[in-house]
Each structure stands twice: as structure tokens, then as C-alpha cells.
A = this chain, B = another copy of it.
Amino acid sequence: MLKKGVERKEVLRALGEVFRAHGYEGASLTLITEATGLGKGSLYHLFPGGKEQMATEVLADIDGWFELNIYAPLREASDPARGVAAMIAGVDQYFHSGDRVCLVGMVALGAARDTFATSVDDYFARWQVALASLLRRSGLSRSQAQRRAEDALLTIQGALVLARARNDAGIFRRALSDLTARLLAP
């Protein structure tokens, strides 16, 4: 029997990796059953809403991780340099130094975007707001902070795409390093 909270998290993690590897439409139930080790019966018992519910919960789970490990620390950091460094470290960890793809960005590019539009938008919007609030505290104007936060998100996404396209994780590493400097520039 499932220990409700615990095991569902594990299932969501496996689901996330399947969606990451094959996209929303490419993640067939066969792949999903293999990745989770759960038969269709269990799967539809856990997620009566089918694939769409699975993806929704996976996105929510990702959002939760970022809220805890990225957004909240950004909001609460007192020292801008430390705050930025912590975010960069968290991002590097989450994306396995460029080996892992961003599921949210992937969904955004595909046909499934419309279905998950608000989740996708929220993910980036809240990140931008949290980062901009930190940058404001470092002395930037509101518009400067917003613009620079936007640049940060876009750099991370672009680095993930390019790193994967060229199969070169160094791209991601360099991008994060440059980004740190750019965010903290006067």
C-alpha cells in the first residue's frame, strides 16, 4: 500500500523524468508504467484525471521545489551576493549542471503549452518577481531589477537548450558563471 504522501512524491519524480525525456505528448502510458513501475490500474487510481492530471501535479511539484529552494531564499536573502550565489547553486544542482532539461520550458515550446499555460507562466513570473526583489535590495531601480531578472531566466533557459543541442554541459556552466557576474554588476 502507498504511504500516501511519501510514495506519491516518488511517483511524481519518475513521471517528471518521463515527461522530461519524451515531452508531454511523447510520454506514452507504456513509458509511464515502465518508469513508475505502476500498472494502469494503479496509475488511474492515483491520477483519475489521466495524463493531464499527472502533468499538472508534476508541474506543481516542480513549482513546490523551486518555491522552497529558490524563490523563498531569494526573497529572504539579506546579502544580494549571497542570494544570487545561492540561486545559481540551486539551479546548477537542479539541472544537473546542464544535463537535465527544464520541463517547464519544454512544455512552453510544445503544443501542450495552452493546456498548462498558467502553470508555465506562474513558474517564471514568480521566479522573476523573487529575483527582482533581491536585486532591488542591491540598489537597482525597479525596472532595472525586473529587466535583469528577466535576463537571468532567459539565460538559464537558453543555456539549457544550447547545452543539450550541442551536447556540451560546459555551455551551461559558463552561462551560469557569467550570469552571476552580470546580476551583481553595479
Contacts and interface: CB of A to CB of B under 8 A. Distances in A.
A180 interface: no
A151 B178 contact: yes
A104 B133 CA distance: 34
Nearest to A27: B111
Interface string A138-177: 0000000001001101111111111011110001001100
Contact of A162 (B154, B159, B178): B154
A157 B164 CA distance: 12
Interface stretch (A17-25, A34-42, A85-93): A17-25
A121 B156 CA distance: 19
A109 to B, nearest CB: 5
Contact of A161 (B22, B26, B157): B157
Contacts of A156: 158
Contact of A108 (B111, B120, B155, B164): B164
10 contacts: A23-B109, A108-B164, A108-B165, A109-B161, A150-B162, A150-B174, A153-B162, A154-B155, A154-B158, A157-B162
